Structure 1
Amino acid sequence: MSSERHLAIKISYTAVDRQWAEWVAWKLEDAGYRVLIQAWDFVAGSNWRFKMQEGVTQATRTIAVLSDAYLASVYGKEEWQAAHAADPKGLARKLLPVRIEDCDRPGLLGAAVSIDLFDLFDLSADTARSYLLVQVRGALDGRVKPDIEPAFPVRPRQTSPDQPPSFPYHQGSPQPRSAKPPLIGEPFTSHTGAVESVAIGPDGKILATSSSEGVVWLWDVTDPSRPRAIGKFLTGHTTGLWSVVFGPEGKTLATSIDNGTVRLRDISDPSRPHIIGEFLTGDDDPVWSVAFRPDGRILATGSEDGTLRL
């Protein structure tokens, strides 16, 4: 347990987000942290202005519960700016933005890495709690190392080093052009871990990418020279997400996780994907690959133990 857990964490929020703020505060105190929150600590007879100043000056961390309403709040702005001023480079991670809406982070807030809870709405409350506590612990410790050892990164088998001899062109004969295809635009990413799988939808307009930190990003590649991020969602796991594949109609996305789970999501609206099904393949080994039959009625999976399942 981090040595900083006995120090207070201030929850900065606006009145319309009180339910979210109290949920965050409860989960943190339940995990052993000290929390300062207006709903619980500004009791009758206390000076609310003094209590706010006390929270800003004495709390070791400030969690700003970000929403459009919070960003319009004068008092909320004062609190997060005070936390930022105390740690402008973010080296001590005194300001922890927790987004409960997919809202913009204007100005100085845009440079602070946020904890995004709105991505977890289609998962369970326990998953959201676990993710919140892992990220807060990471802010205190300065890193987020998984509790489970990553799987060994198996590589495809190498081809034989013995290659057939090239065609002996005569001196002065025209040489074939390079078979290396040109890049379209600049490389891009929003992942923080290794990209494990990519897939393009049947219409060629949507790209899905998955990574080792358990995140799937969806991209609009209608203009492949200018890919645009549509959004991301979390699988609820902090380790490998090995395969992502579109259904033949382009409205279903299947993902496989390192604990043998395969999830199906409806991406008819790519900006709001939601789970429509989940199943276990039967063991705890990672599922390296998934594929749909052309009619979309059967899904095939391949696991690390050499097992194929339909």
Structure 2
Amino acid sequence: MNNDNKYHVSLSFSGKDRAYVEAVASNLKQRGVKVFYDFYEQANLWGKNLYDHLTEIYLKKSYYVVMFISKHYKKNVWPNLERQAAQARAFTENKEYILPARFDDTEIPGMLGTVGYIDLNKTKSYELSDLICIKLQQEGIVEISNLLLQPYPGHVRWAPVDTGQPGINFLVNDSLPESFIPWFELEDEIRTKLLTQVIQVPEDYNLELNRV
């Protein structure tokens, strides 16, 4: 593992796909992931030779690159520069480096059809963020405890399970035990409140209280 990597993950995308990517970047940032996303780096990028700087980021300074593939991505100059730098790094690695995520089936030079990818038409932005965090944890890049938000006293607290899957423990009232619910099983409304650090769990919320 290269300890010189500045970013846990860098995002390579077309500006026309920004809305989805920005939601992913925001989620990752809130969870403590060091993410390269251009809008977070505006002051740093100001005045730099972007050709050299972006090549350095995608070639040498990231543990992973998530490539958001679309028809727009293939046509855009900057994503192609990022892609070429990432592919040069991937060529020297003995494990996956580029993590493809597809909006469509656009063919990308150098990207084999046999490489596993995430279908973004079936994956919400927070679900992709979950997968990125789990990937980082599985590779030992970041401990799972460092990818979770702080506890919410009296209502919920974050908890990993033995498999490394993040989730939360709900405490409905003092007479019932805490109930672990994996992150993937939470309703959208609860996820949103958790990520904005504002949540009040109603006592009649349908929890599986017999869950071990």
Q: TM-score of the superposition, structure 2-length normalised?
A: 0.54
Q: SS of the counterpart of 1:112?
A: coil
Residue of structure 1 equivalent to 2:85: 82
Q: 1:57-80 CA deviation, whole Å, 9 max, x = no partner?
A: 212211112111002223322322
Q: Residue 37 of structure 1 aligns with which residue?
A: 37
Counterpart amino acid of 2:22? E
Counterpart of 1:13, as a letter, is F
Which residue matches 2:64?
Answer: 61
| Residues 50/84 of structure 1: CA separation in 2 closer, same or farther (3 Å cut) | closer
Q: CA RMSD in A?
A: 3.5
Q: Which runs of 5+ in 1 are unaligned?
A: 149-235, 239-281, 285-310
| Percent of aligned pairs sharing the same letter | 21
Letter in 1 for 2:110: L
CA contact (8 A) 2:67 2:101 kept: yes
Summarize deviations over 1:3-55 as a string: whole Å, max 9, x none.
9x974421111221222222221111111111112222133333322331231
> Contact between 2:6 and 2:62, CA under 8 Å: does it hold in 1?
no
Q: Which amino acid aligns with 2:104?
A: D
Q: Distance in 2 between matches of 1:70 and 1:20?
A: 14
Distance 1:83 1:29, change over 3 A: same
Post-superposition, which runs of at least 4 consecutive aligned residues in structure 1 deviate over 6 A? none
- C-alpha distance 142-9 of structure 1, shift in aligned 2 (>3 A): closer
1:114 Cα offset (Å):
1.4
Equivalent residue for 2:131, pick from 126, 129, 135: 135
Higher helix share: 2
The aligned residue for residue 212 of structure 1 is: none
Q: How do 1:124-273 and structure 2 match up within 5 A?
A: 128-129=125-126, 131-140=127-136, 141-142=138-139, 147=165
The 10-residue stretch of structure 1 (88-97 or 77-86) with the greater mean CA deviation from structure 2: 88-97
Q: Structure 2: any 5+ residue segments left out of the alignment?
A: 141-162, 167-182, 186-205
Matches of 1:66 and 1:102 in 2, distance apart? 7
Question: Between Structure 1 and Structure 2, how many residues are aligned?
Answer: 144
Q: Which of the pair has more CA radius of gyration?
A: 1
Query: Residues of 2 paired with 1:283 and 1:10: CA distance?
Result: 36
Change (3 A) 1:55 1:133: same
Q: Is the 8 A contact 1:90 1:112 kept in 2?
A: no
Partner of 1:158: none
Residue pair 1:65, 1:98 contacting (<8 A) in 2 also: yes
Query: 2:29 & 2:50 partners in 1: Cα distance?
Result: 22
Equivalent residue letter for 1:132: L
Q: 1:93 is matched with which residue: 88, 93, 96?
A: 96
How far is the alpha carbon of 1:119 from its aligned partner? Answer: 0.8
Aligned to 1:229: none
Question: Residues 72 and 105 (structure 1 numbering): CA distance in 2 closer, same or farther, change over 3 Å?
Answer: same
Whether contact under 8 Å (2:6, 2:61) holds in the other structure is no
CA separation of 1:39 and 1:27: change in aligned 2, threshold 3 A? same
Cα–Cα, structure 1 residues 237 and 18, in superposed 2: closer, same or farther, change >3 Å? closer
Question: Distance in 2 between the 1:237 and 1:60 partners?
Answer: 24
Q: 1:13 to 1:106 in 2, by over 3 A?
A: closer
Instruction: Describe the SS at the equivalent of 1:41.
Output: helix
User: Do residues 16 (structure 1) and 16 (structure 2) align?
Assistant: yes
